[in-house]
Structure 1
């Protein structure tokens, strides 16, 4: 009996070791130029469904750090003057879409009878910058783990679809790189998926999308302050996304310091690789348990909001940009 238990334990240990080896193989593969962001996300989803993430408890923290590193690194490939121009062009769309999305989201939550905090997190995640907004707003409104998981699951499911679908739609509609960059920065929730989709479309699309998206992310601060009054939690601290400041410094260094331009392409190459890895890890975190926990009502709210913001922004971009 003892030998039998030892044999079972040995087989289990080998299974766990094999899973870790497979996982690390895909991690290394994602850091190579062979894998594109959409493929990395798909590989992560396959790992989540059939093998399982061996380090799931570290996944959220890892993706959070890697995304920030990627965004700052991409700043070394951008020009301040071009970024300012893109930011000015996108500011009206940004303000209108944020306010409209949050109000519609609250209204849909009431109609569908979704928990108020879940509905609010989905609305702010859709309106601003996906998972980053949810992470910043959730402690302000004192959301619990289940409420946060449902909101994140909804956002990440739709992000996965957008990352793959948006470049094809952009090419089908013959959108210019500026138009596509503006559209995906506003219509795709998470910064990682915005950068992944825009990077696939072209370098100018990437520059416009990253600048507009990060300018949009700054709205976390006023929305977080507003949330403290809406949910009457004035004693909570608001987290400011400091990496946006580092992104701006990276852009300035690349624009005004000639010696930085000599090696900036190495930094941006590394940033694109870490972004691909980030998307792989996001896919790995979308297990069956996460997908089931979302439920159909929050998913309906997320889909309706996403369709509204996608079509209205696309119309605005085609009309004005």
Structure 2
């Protein structure tokens, strides 16, 4: 009977399977202690563990692939609503410049250290982008451009979530000991930490003003994801002389830009919308992204991770430490 199951039914079942694990990750993130890890990292870990014990669920393959490919792009498009272009252009140009320094520093150093360690090049690049820009969302956006394997994308997202969480906790612990103002601490958090959630976690104890400036600094880095993607497209097309090498244009970036403009200049100004609604949209976006990452996590083989992820991890952690020191100095200028 399984062989006669309609393909559409298999796809829906597969999507439902990724949604179920994403839901488990969401519930797990509500548990004290696990909340620091977050639903995205929790869901990926569950998906990876499932793969190791039960193998890849072939019956759900079509739906899993749909989630890891199309839901991923849809989540990136919705992610654009988090970006207020007007605020960044009016109040965050200085922070934008600092964010650009962080991105260039993180990518070049991670790739350089990775090369010296003879690490997996694509994974090192993904981790550099995730460290420099905005964690999982940046990795998800860049992955199809550089033609990264699903496994590498999932590993990169998991590493970013774990390391970023550890760093944000360290930030909150040392914040009272630092000889800088709350605003400087907020800027430092916003231009050096990995995910939006990590920035919020680290900056919140310093007060509302510190949190606001931290999120503004972080959104500036998110804003720079668009030009970075176009730079990577150009680089992929010109890194060798093979005329047959093609890089498909990531059309979802147009959606990302469109949603950013819509959220910045239409929602609230022309179309009234409540904070509750925007918070709900944000949670839905995160959940869809989590389901997509589940699809990627099911492709991860821990044997391969052991062979390829340790060196990129060392490169990324080293870069994150140095980035924190450099951005601390810049934040205090």
Give the match for residue 68 of structure 1.
77
SS of equivalent residue, structure 1 residue 290:
coil
Separation in 2, partners of 1:25, 1:153: 15
Output the aligned Cα RMSD: 4.0
Consecutive unaligned residues of structure 1, counting only runs of 5 or more, are 10-15, 113-118, 139-146, 189-193
What is the SS of the residue equivalent to 1:295? helix
Residue in structure 2 matching 1:317, options 304, 327, 332: 327
Residue number in structure 2 paired with 1:133: 142
1:96 to 85, 105, 128: 105
Q: Is this contact kept in 2: 1:154–1:294, CA < 8 A?
A: no
In the alignment, the residues of structure 2 paired with residue 231 and residue 121 of structure 1 have an alpha-carbon distance, to the nearest angstrom, of 16
Query: Secondary structure, in 3 states, of the residue corresponding to 1:285?
Result: helix
Structure 2 unaligned residues grouped into runs of 5+: 6-11, 130-137, 176-183, 205-210
Report the more deviating stretch, 47-56 or 86-95. 47-56
Pair 1:57 & 2:65 matched: yes
Question: How far does residue 303 in structure 1 lie from its aligned partner after superposition?
Answer: 0.5
The Cα of 1:247 is off from its aligned counterpart by 5.1
Do structure 1's residue 105 and structure 2's residue 114 form an aligned pair? yes
**Alignment check: 8 A CA contact 1:44 1:282 kept:** no
- Bigger Cα displacement from structure 2, 205-214 vs 34-43: 34-43
TM-score if structure 1 supplies the norm length? 0.70
Deviation digits for residues 161-202 of structure 1, max 9, x if unmatched? 135323212212318222111112xxx3xxxxx123234444
Q: In terms of mean alpha carbon deviation, does 148-157 or 200-209 score higher?
A: 200-209
Determine if contact 2:75/2:285 at 8 Å carries over to the other structure: yes
- The structural deviation recorded for 1:262 is 4.7
- In structure 2, the CA distance between the partners of 1:222 and 1:43, relative to structure 1 (3 Å rule), is closer
> What does residue 247 of structure 2 align with?
237
- 1:191 corresponds in structure 2 to none
Are positions 1:222 and 2:234 aligned together?
no
Kindly indicate whether residue 258 of structure 2 is the aligned counterpart of residue 249 of structure 1: no
The structural deviation recorded for 1:253 is: 1.2
Q: 1:83 to 1:265 in 2, by over 3 A?
A: farther
- Distance in 2 separating the partners of 1:106 and 1:21: 38
SS class of match (1:135):
coil
C-alpha distance in structure 1 between counterparts of 2:102 and 2:26, whole Å: 34
Contact 1:73 1:270 in 2 (8 A): no
Change (3 A) 1:95 1:163: closer
DSSP-derived class of the 2:278 partner = helix
Query: For the residues of structure 2 that align with 1:37 and 1:91, how far apart are their CA atoms?
Result: 27
Alignment CA distance shift 1:82-1:274 (3 Å): farther
Determine the structure 1 residue equivalent to 2:187.
178
In the TM superposition, what is the alpha-carbon distance from 1:250 to its structure 2 partner?
4.0
Normalised by the size of structure 2, how large is the TM-score?
0.68
1:112-127 superposed matches below 5 A = 119-127=120-128
Which residue of 1 is the match for residue 179 of structure 2? none
Matched-pair contact (CA < 8 Å) for 2:191–2:327: yes
- CA distance in structure 1 between the aligned counterparts of 2:284 and 2:26, rounded to whole angstroms: 8
Task: Map 1:149-298; keep pairs closer than 5 Å.
Answer: 149-174=150-175, 176-184=185-193, 188=194, 194-201=195-202, 202=204, 203-204=211-212, 205-235=214-244, 236-240=246-250, 241-246=253-258, 248-250=260-262, 252-253=264-265, 259-260=269-270, 262-263=272-273, 265-282=275-292, 284-285=294-295, 287=297, 290-292=300-302, 294-298=304-308
Alpha-carbon shift at residue 27 of structure 1 (Å): 4.0
Aligned residue number for residue 46 of structure 2: 46
